[in-house]
Amino acid sequence: MGLMHILRIYLKLVLRLKNEQIDIIKIGGSIITNKSEYRTLRKKQLLLLSKELAKWEKKCIIIHGAGSFGHTVANQYSIHLGFSNQNQLKGILQIRKDMLELTEAVTHSLVENGVNALSFQTSAIVFENEGGFSFHFNPVKKALSLGFCPILSGDVLFTEAKGFRIFSGDALIRLLVQHFDVGRVIFISDVDGLFLQDPETKEDKLVSSLTTNDFENVEIGELNQDDSKDVTGEMRGKIEEIKSILEHTSEVILVNGFHPERLTLVREGDKFVGTTIINENST
């Protein structure tokens, strides 16, 4: 084997390593917090997930939601409507305090279980201008390349037009996939996946796999999910985020975090209870 040949193989390997696609994993607030009780952490659930994520082989960025550490106070002070009065500042301070606590709990649990988890505060590196977002992802990129697993979260974002807004973890992912080489986005939440109504039996059925084309043809009205109807709205909103995320990734996975063994199967590339949406246009 000639030296040039060996060099070529080496260069290919280096290139492949350099171009390694990452996974983005979103841990929904519904899974690590009790959404109906202010600032309640589901410690056991977080521990089980951390153990699972410690075995993740691919490089990844982990995004966690807010659950009752964010939404409760955000609603109380109408943070989602933007700035209207000075009193809202108190709300934002409280959310910052609570979210720091949640991020610290998530990061600590991951580190304890062997993940090189390093947190970044989303609103410190992302801003919304009139015409789009400005952001500074270089620290996250460098940390990732050094072997850290960056942790980010949904946050109260400062915006040019309205002062501030709620920026969900899903919206953050939508931005990240445009600027990182992301192979898969995995949403860990408290639902099994995507449910579609069977037109004949009218029963809701979990769809295990579908393509972006199938997905495009899915009528939002047909979408449903297993248990509580009041969160259906959340799932509908998510569909739009997923559609846009799929423009930049090859796969989106929806899996129920209350069954960590399903995550093991996702990690090992085996069949699992959940939904995989494949972008058939990606190579």
Nearer to ligand IPE, 5 or 44 (CB): 44
Coil, strand or helix at 282: coil
Q: What is the dihedral of CA 181, 185, 247, 275, to 10 degrees?
A: 150
Q: In what order do the strands lie in the sheet with 126-128?
A: 133-135, 126-128, 155-159, 163-167
Closer residue to ligand IPE in complex, CB, 95/191: 95
SS (H, E, C) 191-212: CCCEEEECCCCCCEEEECEEEH
**Strand pairing partners for 182?**
22
Q: Which of 154, 193, 257, 260: binder of ligand IPE (CB under 6 A)? A: 154
Strand partners, 217: none
Q: Rule CB under 6 A: say whether 66 interacts with ligand IPE.
A: yes
Choose one: 9-17, 149-157, 193-201, 244-252; the region binding ligand IPE (CB under 6 A).
149-157
| 74 counts as binding ligand IPE under rule CB under 6 A | yes
Considering the rule CB under 6 A, would residue 144 count as an interface residue with ligand IPE? no
Q: 140 vs 278, which CB is nearer to ligand IPE?
A: 140
Among 60, 103, 159, 169, binds ligand IPE (CB under 6 A): 169
DSSP β-ladder status, 155-159 and 223-224: unpaired
Q: First CA to last CA across the chain, in angstroms?
A: 31
Q: Contact between 176 and ligand IPE (CB under 6 A)?
A: no
Among 22, 24, 25, 28, binds ligand IPE (CB under 6 A): 28
Residue span binding ligand IPE (CB under 6 A) among the ranges 83-91, 150-158, 243-251, 255-263:
150-158
Among 23, 48, 65, 190, binds ligand IPE (CB under 6 A): 65
> Residue 156 CB, nearest distance to ligand IPE (Å)?
5
- Residue among 163, 183, 188 at smallest CA distance from 29: 188
* Residue 168 in contact with ligand IPE, rule: CB under 6 A: yes
| 265-273: Cβ within 8 A, 24+ apart | 266/186, 267/52, 267/55, 267/56, 267/57, 271/208, 273/192, 273/193, 273/206, 273/208
Smallest distance from the beta carbon of 226 to ligand IPE, in angstroms?
18
What does the alpha-carbon distance between residue 266 and residue 235 come to, in Å, rounded to a whole number? 21
Q: Does 173 bind ligand IPE (CB under 6 A)?
A: no
Among 42, 71, 174, 238, binds ligand IPE (CB under 6 A): 71
Q: Which of residues 91-110 bind ligand IPE (CB under 6 A)?
A: 95, 99
Residue selected from 67, 91, 193, 260 as contacting ligand IPE according to rule CB under 6 A: 67
Contact 252, 23 (CB under 8 A): no
Given a contact cutoff of 8 angstroms between Cβ atoms, the answer to whether 106 and 27 are in contact is yes
| 166 touches ligand IPE by CB under 6 A | yes
- Using CB under 6 A as the binding rule, whether residue 70 contacts ligand IPE is answered as yes
Q: Give the residues lining the site for ligand IPE (CB under 6 A).
A: 28-29, 65-67, 70-71, 74, 95, 99, 154-156, 166, 168-170
